[in-house]
Structure formats: C-alpha cells, structure tokens
Amino acid sequence: MECAVEGEDYRSRLKEFQDVEARRLQFIEEMLSKLDTVTADLERVTQDRAREVSILKADLETEREARRGLQEKNGNLLLSVSKMEQARFVLVLVDADADIYLFRDGLLAQGGQGGQFAAEELIAKVREYLATFESFKDAAKIPIMVKAYANFSGLAQACMRDKKVVSMEAMMEFWCGFTRRFPLVDFINVGPGKEEADSKLREVLAHHIVSPLCEHVLLACCHDAGYVPVLRQYAAQKDFSSRITLIASGPFRGDMVSLGLRTTKSFEPLFGHVKSSQSVRSYAEVGAVAPRPPSTSKAVLSVQDLKLSGKPVANCDRLRPILFNEAGKRIDKPLSVHGDCVKEIRKRNLCSWHYLRADCIVDGCKKVHDFRRPLTPKNYDALWCISRENVCRRLSKHGKCEDDQCIFGHGFV
C-alpha cells in the first residue's frame, strides 16, 4: 500500500518537474523571441543612426565648405573694399574759358614753373576745403582729379593782349607745367566754340557723379547760365547735391545761387577774378577759322597802298590773311614764339612798322631801324607778338579793321 503511494508521489513530482521544464522552455522561447525583436529593432535603429550620421557628416562638410567659401568671399570683399577706398577721389572741373577762372598774373608770368605752382596751390586749396567736412577723415591724402577746359588759342591771345604773358609759347609752357605737376591734373584744349568746354564739363560731370568712388565734385563754372539746367537736375537729388560745391570767383550769378548748392569763395586768391561791376568775358569763341578774302572797300589798306608809306618788307606777306572767328569778328593769327626770343627782340627796341610792314617814314622815330632786314620767321613773329600788345586803333574807333597787313592786336576789342 505504501509502495503504491510512493509511486504516485514520484509521478506527481515528475509531472511537476515536467511542468516546470515546459514553463522554462517556454520562457526561454519567449526570451529568444523577445531578443530577436529587440535585435531587429536595434539593427534598424543602428542603420537609421548610421544614415543620420552620414547625413550629418555630409552636412558638416557642406557647412565647412560653405564657411570656407564665406571666408574667401569675405576676404575678397574686404580686399575690394580696400581697393575701393584706395580708388576714392575728388573731382575738380574748371571752365577755364572764363576770365574769372584764369590764374592770377603772378603765376602766368612764370611760365612752366608758374603752372606747377598753380597746380600745387589749387590742390592745396581743395584739401584745405575738404578738411572742413567731418566726413573727410583723409582730406590730406585722398586723390584729387583736376580737369581744366579752355580754348587755348583764344586764352593765349587775350593774355598776350593784356600783357599777362609775352607769347603763346609762354602760355603753353604755363599749362604744360600745370599738367605735368600731378598725374591726375590736366589742361584740355577744346579749341574755339562756345559749347566745346561746356559740353566736355557737363559730360565728365555726368560720368563721375554717379560713381560711388567720386566723393565730391568742385565746379568752377559759375559764370555761365548754360550750366544752370544741368545743375538743377543734380540739385534736386540729395545724393548728388550733397557732393557738389560751386567755386565762386568774382561775380556770382543769381540763377546759380537759386540752385541751393554749396558754394565756396576760398579759391578766389588763386584766380585773377574780375570785380562785380565788370562783365565776365569768355575766350571760347576766339579761334582761327577759314580766312575770308579782304574787303574791296576803300577802307582796306593793301600792298599797293603801302607805296605811300615806304617800300614793303620782303616777308610782310606773313601778316596775311585776315582771320575771323565763328561770330565773324576779326582775330589775330596764332603765333608760336618762345618767351626768350620775345625778350631778346624787345631789348633791341626795333621799329615794328619798319620790320613787319614797310619802310618807316615817321620823322623822329626813336625806334631802331638799322638791324638787318628781313627778320627771320622766328624773330618776325616775336616782334609781331610785341606789336600786337597795342590794340588796333581802327578797330577801337570804328569797330572793325579790314587792313590785311595790320600789325596791331584785334582780340576781344
């Protein structure tokens, strides 16, 4: 009986062990299944993270390249800004056809050296003026571009007539000295014609005023109403008007004042300006054009008429032909004579009539008549230059001179 009970107990206990083993195996199976799931999730997450890391690495490299590009661009930009700073300039435009913008006599008389002094004084005046602006921290070193426009022939003849220079050669030396003194300083001969200098100045102003490199513009053109319409356009725009200054010398036009642009009189000591009671003269229209045949009226003195006043000089044909400007007014033939030659001939005190035109028949003439004749072309022109310092009386009295061998001056009378 006891043996039977023990057998059942063993089977019961075995059954319990078998149940436990079954549960253990089930547990292990569940654990393995869970592990597979977790492993799969981990592998998926790892792959996702790997892709994200790859993307981040690519983004990082892109950012590095972008940063290097930005650094390079920034360097180039800084270099460009530096170059632009170095390229900044101030522009000075001078309509030198007006007598109020003609440099003072003391400078003109010194020829080439006077021209250099004039350029130096002009640049110094500009820098002195710029220093009055708070915005100009580099007024002492900013490049200054100067362009002076004029009809050289008319300008030279007027200065010879007024005894400011002794010859056209002396005037040429002055402007050469002016131009050579600084690389950015130029005198431009625009030839005869009222609109020539005006047109040049207007176009150069229009070209530079729109440039951000042009810090300021000083204009010496206050004598001419023709500039008013152009300047009015700039005066209406603050970006332009704030960068323009009008250089006053002598009388200042009311229509110029009404523009409201900044003005300065600090340059007046540099120019031989006229008084307010005098009208401003322009040399723009004075220049040689096609010669006109001499008039056949009785007022003309021809070679045949000279028989009454002595034998004509062999080379008196140099006095012909009569030249006229575009307005039909008589002008003097341009002469190219060196100042030293003029001084030498002046010392000889030669009779102009005797050596330029015909035998002198004036009783008691105190001039020299025994110097060899005819004069060389160089000396002839030098003496003619001296003679033209005296204004033609016929032109002064009657308003015209039709003598095709007149040896006196005819400019601007």
User: Is residue 113 very low, low, confident or very high in pLDDT (cuts 50, 70, 90)?
Assistant: very high
Q: How far is CA 219 from CA 17, 66, 188, 198, 334, in A?
A: 117, 48, 16, 12, 29
Give the model confidence (pLDDT) of 244-283 as tens digits. 999 988 777 788 888 999 999 999 999 875 554 444 555 5
Helix, strand or coil for residue 7? helix
Q: How far is residue 135's CA from residue 142's CA, in Å, rounded to a whole number?
A: 12
Contact 201, 149 (CB under 8 A): yes
397 or 147, higher pLDDT: 147
Mean pLDDT over the full length of the chain: 83
Question: Which pLDDT score, from 0 to 100, does residue 280 have?
Answer: 54
Give the model confidence (pLDDT) of 119-139 as tens digits. 999 999 999 999 998 878 888
In this prediction the pTM is 0.58
Q: How far is residue 343's CA from residue 386's CA, in Å, rounded to a whole number?
A: 9
Q: How far is residue 151's CA from residue 337's CA, in Å, rounded to a whole number?
A: 18
Count of positions (residues) in the chain: 413
Question: Which pLDDT score, from 0 to 100, does residue 114 have?
Answer: 92
Q: How far is residue 277's CA from residue 185's CA, in Å, rounded to a whole number?
A: 32
Q: Is 324 exposed, middle or buried (0-12, 13-18, 19+ CB in 10 A)?
A: middle
CA 43: distance to chain centroid? 76
Buried-exposed string 224-252: b where 16+ CB fall within 10 A, e elsewhere: beebbebbeebbeeeebbebbbbbbbbbb
Q: How far is residue 140's CA from residue 163's CA, in Å, rounded to a whole number?
A: 36
Q: How far is CA 387 from CA 135, 334, 356, 362, 383, in A?
A: 54, 14, 9, 17, 6
Q: Kindly list the strands in the beta sheet with 185-189, ordered across the sheet, starting from the edge strand earlier in the chain.
A: 185-189, 144-150, 89-95, 214-220, 244-247, 262-264
Question: Which pLDDT score, from 0 to 100, does residue 303 have?
Answer: 35
Contact 276, 96 (CB under 8 A): no
Give the model confidence (pLDDT) of 190-228 as tens digits. 887 777 888 899 999 999 999 989 999 999 988 888 888
